[in-house]
Structure 1
Amino acid sequence: MGSNPKGHTTKETKNMATMTDNRTEVIAAQNDKVRAVLNSGLGFLGCAEGGVKFKLVWTPGIDEAFMQTGRAKTVLSAVADFDDFTEDNNPHGEREFAALDIEGTRIFFKIDYYNLTLDGGSEDPADTAQTMRVLTLMLPAEY
């Protein structure tokens, strides 16, 4: 069996890559669950299927363009239904960021992983017991 520069065998390296791929898919699925809740009308702070905790926030530009104009459901549904993830907009495979156009307005959404008190990053974003996701909606100029 061959080894790589870090001393891992080829089999160990493949196993580590599989574990990373599985972990990435767990995180991506959790992010999908958070976005899906946006269609439910359950609120902006809560728990998605599987115990995935989240908070939804938006910038002043989103507030002005959508929330104050009676189009909150439009923007929330667009983010919830988005599934056009590509290598360009999803390089980490976690489905945590995308740019989309809604009725002629370009927006970004971004999911960040915090600890439960929101005063630092999560040590393990795949662990729902220690992670609060913050989903931010913003205009590109506000990124």
Structure 2
Amino acid sequence: MATDVNDRNAVIAEQNDLVRAALADPKAFKQVNAQGIAFKLVWTPGINEAFLLTGKIKPLAKAIAAFDAFETDDDPYQERDFAALEVEGTKVYFKFDYYNLTMDGGSEDPADPAQTVRVLTVMLPCEY
């Protein structure tokens, strides 16, 4: 895996982008699987109520997949792992966390898919 911090951050960012793209694009989902990138998607009760139960989950997935306006304050390591956006008039946050394969602790190397399960949590700001 990449050893330079900037290289590692770039690898993590690319993997995060691919996972986000996989939410709305079957080709990206196949790439995630082909690269062995494990991930779980978690959404909070507020997201369930605001998007799933109202039939707006597809616009939410597409907005997260397409998002590219990362700000330095929200993404200081340039891993594209956190953002705030507005979807269908509702402010939403998404955040990646990196766990080891047994999900009982953090990943020792989030750039290495062989050691990492990404958890993408989608939430309302009041649930952060």
TM-score if structure 2 supplies the norm length? 0.90
Give the match's secondary structure for 1:129: helix
Aligned residue for 2:71? 86
Aligned residue for 2:14? 29
Mapped partners of 1:40, 1:82: distance in 2: 14
Query: Computing the radius of gyration over CA atoms, which structure comes out larger, 1 or 2?
Result: 1
Asked if 1:114 is matched to 2:99, the reply is yes
**What residue identity is the alignment partner of 1:106?**
K
**Cα distance 1:71–1:135, how it changes in 2: closer, same or farther (>3 A)?**
same
CA RMSD of aligned residues (A): 1.8
**What residue identity is the alignment partner of 2:98?**
Y
Give the match's secondary structure for 2:54: coil
Using the aligned pairs only, state the percent identity: 60
Mapped partners of 1:132, 1:94: distance in 2: 15
| Poorly superposed stretches of 4+, deviation over 3 Å | none
Where does structure 1 lack aligned partners over 5 or more consecutive residues?
A: 1-17
Following superposition, the deviation at residue 59 of structure 1 comes to 0.2
- Number of corresponding residues: 123
- Higher relative contact order (Cα pairs below 8 Å, separated by 6+ residues): 2
**What residue identity is the alignment partner of 1:53?**
A
Following superposition, the deviation at residue 88 of structure 1 comes to 2.1
Aligned residue for 1:70? 55
Mapped partners of 1:83, 1:48: distance in 2: 22
Where does structure 2 lack aligned partners over 5 or more consecutive residues?
A: none
